[in-house]
Amino acid sequence: GGSAMAAVRDVEIDPEGTFKYILVHLQRPGGGEQRDIVRGTKAAEFHNHIFEKVNPEMERLGYECKCLGGGKIEHNSKDKKIRVFGLSTGYGKADHSVTVEILKKEYTDYEITWSDDKK
């Protein structure tokens, strides 16, 4: 244990609101350690803005990043609900079911759903 991978959080999303998100695959060059992470924020006007922030951070930790697609997250912290939907024009649609499984690890007491709806 004690790897850099442990220092990388599975999920970093805004605490409230509706915003763009991306699903990112991390992997050590030459195989070995790999996992998927979720990143989303209202600060990002486009999905690639999120990737452009995440990618250098992860490269510094020694990971290769690949964006697996994107969508939107609607985060209602008051009702403890998260809805995953939509897609990214540039990266395509993330596998929202994978995103939901990752979100469930962080938001254990939430109701988390997904759909292929555009809005």
Q: Which residues are annotated as a binding site?
A: 20
Rounded Cα gap, residues 83 and 117, in angstroms: 11
Terminal-residue alpha carbon distance, the chain: 41
Output the known binding site for substrate: 20
Phi-psi map region of 27: left, alpha, beta (phi>0 left; psi -120 to 50 alpha): beta
Catalytic residue among 47, 49, 75, 96: 47
Is 49 one of the annotated active-site residues of the chain? no
Give residues with Cβ within 8 angstroms of 89, minimum separation 6.
47
Active-site positions?
47
